[in-house]
Amino acid sequence: MVRSGADASIAEQEEAPLVWSARWSLTTRILAVNILAIVLFGGGFFYLDTYRSRLVDTRIDVMEDQMARLDEALESARPDQRQHLIDDFTRATESRLRFYASDGRLIADSFKTGPATYTLRDPDLQPWKRDAARAMDRGIDWIVGAPSYPDFREPAVDRGQSWPEVAETMKSGAGTSRFRYAPERTPLLSATRVVDLETPEVMLMTLNARDITKTVRAERFRLAVVVAMVLLTSVLLSLFLARTIVRPLRRLARAAVRVRLGRARDVVVPRLPSRRDEIGTLARALSDMTQALRERIDAGEHFAADVTHELKNPIASVRSAIEGLGRVKTDEQRTQLLAIADEDVRRLDRLVTDISDASRIDAQLSRTLFEPVDLGLMIESMLAARAARVDPGAPAPRVAFARPRKGTTVVMADGHRLERAIDNVIDNAVSFSPADGLVCVSATRLGDEVHIRIDDDGPGIDPAHREAIFRRFHSERPDGEAFGRHSGLGLAIARTIIEGHSGTISARDRDDGKRGASLLITLPAREGSDEAG
């Protein structure tokens, strides 16, 4: 079958998500979604990088403020007190001060006039734990995209021009600052300021701020521990969730595949009775669907076997009649054989018609849109058409109908199909009634249901056979009726149609105690219709 362009486009749009979703298993997608949330949470490392930058900026601001205060103290102090102030300042701030003349010559160095306040450590002499910590620092800096800072190297010749910040201050007259990494990858901060003592000089303050690295590493460690714990918990919960979802789905999928392959007719789709969630609902729906499908397949096989059996008899009779035509000698015998063949062909025609209807009713009812049908008017019209077809001279039972008030027996139905079902039941009642008998039809409204009763004057139905009469090809023919007049599908078709309308049909004894059978059809009444009789 060729699909139109619009249909093909819609189909492609519907199939596209399925193709995409087939790339990843459900377990992988559950893990990915939960881990993505943890990764976003791990974005706190980006915050820690900005936190480090703020610490550095704050420390440089403090350095500049301390240098300004030292400048004021040096200007107001006597020359012989200045070195003492510088020594006290460097010890208090754990820094190093250098003073350069305007030509770049080193004038003073606190490390030469007093003890060193900090020491740049050699990373080669430190334990492996420090190497691992520095490697982690580099890795995190690379992940968060931290800016790259230069490494600090003490100049071979200590002149002002050897320090970019000092040279810049000499040129512009304004203080500046720099961030460098010491050999052990701790921040080495420097700041400059122009001081005016006897002659203008540039003061350079350097500081190895190990505490910043210690603080950032501690915060990163805490965050890493939290992320690791949350990640582990998320993975375990994701696996648990995947287990509770994926495992039952796989069981259902395997059972469905076995059912599809048909390798075992007794394949049981797990119903998962302990599951009260959507998975349990799906499992029970699939189990019920599989059972219904198996019943339909079994019914189809039985139906095919019954059809074969029912068709063999008339076909064999036609074949026998045709073979006998070549052996008969008289016209009377030939006419008799042709009459038998004609009757068998008619029987075959009825069988094929009823079989076709019986096999299509379920599918047709599933596609039919029901409309309001007044059963009183429908049955009255149907019986009038039936009376017009009956030969007035031929003996036949009478059919009486107690018509209800208009609008009281309205149902939602496919009028044509429902008329076929009721006509089959009436035809069955007429076939079992004697020629002078009476078939009584009534339709009444009782609460939310409409009851249609068909009573006949026939021999009645044995209680043991009251369910069997609705089976396909089951027929208990009245005495004297020609063989093959009924296909045995009339009541089976009627039951299929009535059940397709959410109704029921059953056989019972007559309420008035008279001889005969009574078939009761029950259908749901249309909401809002009158209940008055």
Q: What is the average pLDDT across 270-288?
A: 76
Q: With cut-offs at 50, 70 and 90, classify the pLDDT of residue 11.
A: very low
Residue 165 pLDDT greater than 90, yes or no = yes
Helices marked H in 2-107? 5-21, 26-41, 44-76, 79-93
Mean pLDDT, to the nearest integer, of 61-90? 90
Strand, helix or coil at 401?
Answer: strand
Closest CA to 96 of 123, 114, 82: 114
pLDDT of residue 351: 67
Mean pLDDT of 119-143: 80
CA pair distance 126, 246, nearest whole angstrom: 51
Kind of pairing between the strands at 410-413 and 200-208: unpaired
| Mean pLDDT to the nearest integer, 393-417 | 85
The residues, ordered by sequence, that sit 6+ positions from 492 with a Cβ below 8 Å of its Cβ are: 358, 470, 471, 472, 473, 474
Concatenated DSSP letters for 494-512? HHHHHHHTT-EEEEEE-TT
In whole angstroms, give the CA distance from residue 203 to residue 193: 5
Instruction: Enter the DSSP assignment of 530.
Output: -
If pLDDT is split at 50, 70 and 90, which confidence band does 60 have? very high
pLDDT greater than 70 at residue 364: no
Distance CA 135, CA 176 (A): 30
Least confident of 276-285, 409-418, 455-464: 276-285
* Exposed e or buried b per residue across 344-363, where buried means at least 16 C-beta atoms within 10 angstroms of its C-beta: beebbebbeebbebbeebee
Map out the domains of the chain with their CATH numbers. 44-220 (3.30.450.20), 268-367 (1.10.287.130), 369-478+486-533 (3.30.565.10)
Angle subtended at Cα 246 by Cα 243 and Cα 248, rounded to the nearest 5 degrees: 95
What value, to the nearest 5°, has the Cα angle with vertex 311 and ends 309 and 315?
A: 125
* pLDDT score for 193: 93
CA 195/CA 197 separation, integer angstroms? 6
What is residue 230's predicted lDDT score, i.e. its pLDDT? 76
Which percentage of the chain shows pLDDT scores above 90? 20
Residue 37 confidence (pLDDT) above 70: no
Q: What is the pLDDT of residue 15?
A: 45
Q: Tell me what pLDDT residue 20 has.
A: 39
> In sequence order, what are the beta bridge partners of 99?
108, 203
More confident residue, 308 or 287: 287
Element (H, E) at 189: strand 187-196
Cα angle for residues 511, 517, 522 (degrees, 5° grid): 70
Q: Note the residue count of the chain.
A: 533
- Write out pLDDT tens, residues 441-495: 999 999 899 999 999 988 888 888 778 777 766 666 555 444 444 556 778 888 8
3 state SS for 111-156: HHHCCCCCCCCCHHHCCHHHHHHHHHHHHHHHHHCCCCCCECCCCC
- Per DSSP, the residues of 352-382 read HHHHHHHHHHHHHHHHPPPEEEEHHHHHHHH
The pTM of this model reads 0.46
Q: Which residues, in sequence order, are bridge partners of residue 399?
A: 439
Which has the higher per-residue pLDDT, 45 or 392? 392
Please choose, from the candidates 115, 118, 113, 116, the residue with its C-alpha nearest in 3D space to the C-alpha of residue 83.
113
pLDDT at 440 (0 to 100): 92
User: How far is 310 from 348, CA to CA, in rounded Å?
Assistant: 9
Q: What is the DSSP string of 303-333?
A: HHHHHHHHHHHHHHHHHHHHHHHTT--SHHH
- Max mean pLDDT range (41-50, 240-249, 339-348, 501-510): 501-510
Average pLDDT over residues 129-140: 78
Q: Is the pLDDT of residue 122 over 50?
A: yes
| Averaged pLDDT for residues 7-21 | 43
